Amino acid sequence: MLCILLWWQQLMLIELGFNIFIWCYGFYYFIHILSLIIRFTDGRFLILSLLGWKHGCKVMWIADLDVAKKVLLTTSSKGSFIEEKIATPAWSPVLSLESVNGDLWIDLKSKFLIFQKYLPSAEQFTRVVRYILSTQDANIEIDAKQVVRITLACFVKWIFNRDWDPEWDFVCEASWEWRKELAVKGKADPLLKFRTIDWLIDLINHSNYYHIFGEQWSTPECYSVIMQPFILSPMINISDIAVSASRRPDLSIQELIHYYHPFPIIERYIDKDIVVCNDGVSCVLVNANTQVFIPLDTIGQQEQYHHNLWTPFGIGPRKCLGSQYAVPLLTEFITHCKNSPKFVPYKNHKYSGRNNDNLSFHESIYQLVLFAKILIRN
């Protein structure tokens, strides 16, 4: 009898342990699915609509190409949603031309255009890219880390005429930290961020660009015009697009940029009605006080692709200023690598805004907590 009781007690403990395991696994799966829903499907519509309601403005998702173009051409304001609540804090202490608004954006763009006049030609950039690609060891795998390293080497050589230094590997690591926070997968290492900023300021101080802004180069308003569009964004975006290029070799470079950009939502705030006239009849396309979201991961993909049909990064006052350099780099890079068995950009890839890699439980929790904080504090 005693043996039976002991056996029964052990069986109950085993059953309890099994139930706890099932509950924990179910909880993990629930959190993981919930996080994916919020980021990629109807969940993002719900979250952003709630933000709009708390802001007192309407939210509109636009999937029509012509309406999307009119919105992008009409306004320079991105509103106070994704870019302000998530991207701007993630970029900090760097100021991103793609995220800031108002007078700060006007000031940053002005400084960018001033600096741009002193850059070598776009043709020289293409020659630099070809040279660096031609000097790569054919026996080395081109994984995600190598994609980032090549990208940084191209821009530093073009801008500063400096050859690659292995000691700069920490800059590549810093780009993964920035990417992690921008993709809402964790908090970046602040020390690595500041170390990278010091590295760039040192390059500037020993270059012919120092005279442009002088001592002001040490301020975010100045060093950011190089750091964001020429250093960080290329390392972040090109490595992610390279993953999509390896999976969709049938797509053109423009299609990869437009449809597989790692951050797949464009946003604009409309403060005045957007009105069109058809046969003398006025029609309001978008009402004033509306926050517009354009999902790049779905819009226009049912259309036959044409270069002039859909250029979300190339029109309007907030067009991507770095796209003119990203296209030639991607063209040369993908053309050079796509048929190589050593081209494995998905290997060692992490913190994708496109779910190009696995989402951990810790990352899911981080996302849910951050979204909850934004909704509560908004």
**101-153 pLDDT tens trace:** 999 999 999 999 999 999 999 999 999 999 999 999 888 999 999 999 999 99
Residue 236: CA atoms inside 13 Å, Cβ hemisphere, count? 26
The alpha carbon torsion through 234, 177, 187, 330 (nearest 10 deg) reads 20
Position 119 in a domain: yes
Amino acid at 198: D
- Could you tell me which residues come within 8 angstroms of residue 65 by beta carbon, excluding any fewer than 6 positions away? 299, 300, 303, 309, 310
- Model's pTM, two decimal places? 0.85
The parent domain of residue 189 ranges over: 88-264+321-377
Give how far Cα 108 sits from Cα of 73, 78, 272, 350, Å.
20, 15, 25, 30
CB contact set of 174 (below 8 Å; sequence gap of 6+): 189, 192, 193, 195, 196
Residue 189 domain flag: yes
Strand, helix or coil at 77?
Answer: coil
Q: Is residue 346 one of the residues assigned to a domain?
A: yes
pLDDT confidence of residue 25: 47
In a domain, 136, yes or no: yes
Mean pLDDT for the chain?
84
Distances (CA, A) of 61 to 52, 87, 190, 355: 12, 20, 35, 21
Lowest mean pLDDT among 1-10, 50-59, 91-100: 1-10
The reported pLDDT for the residue numbered 240 is 86
Helix (H) or strand (E) holding 291: strand 290-295
149-177, pLDDT tens digit by residue?
A: 999 999 999 999 999 999 999 999 999 99
The residues, any chain, with a CB within 8 Å of residue 9's CB and separated by 6 or more, are none
Q: Is residue 287 part of a domain?
A: no
| CATH number of domain containing 110 | 1.10.630
pLDDT, position 9: 61
| Contacts of the segment 183-190: beta carbons below 8 A, 24+ positions apart | 183/262, 183/263, 183/351, 183/352, 183/353, 184/39, 184/86, 184/90, 184/366, 184/367, 184/370, 185/351, 185/359, 185/363, 185/366, 185/367, 186/351, 186/362, 186/363, 186/366, 187/366, 188/90
Tally of structural domains, the chain: 1
Tell me the per-residue pLDDT of 317-344, one tens digit each, with 9 for 90 and over. 888 888 788 888 999 999 998 888 999 9
Does some domain include residue 45?
A: no
Whether residue 27 is contained in a domain is answered as no
Contact 226, 152 (CB under 8 A): no
The confidence score (pLDDT) of residue 184 equals 86
Domain-located, residue 124: yes
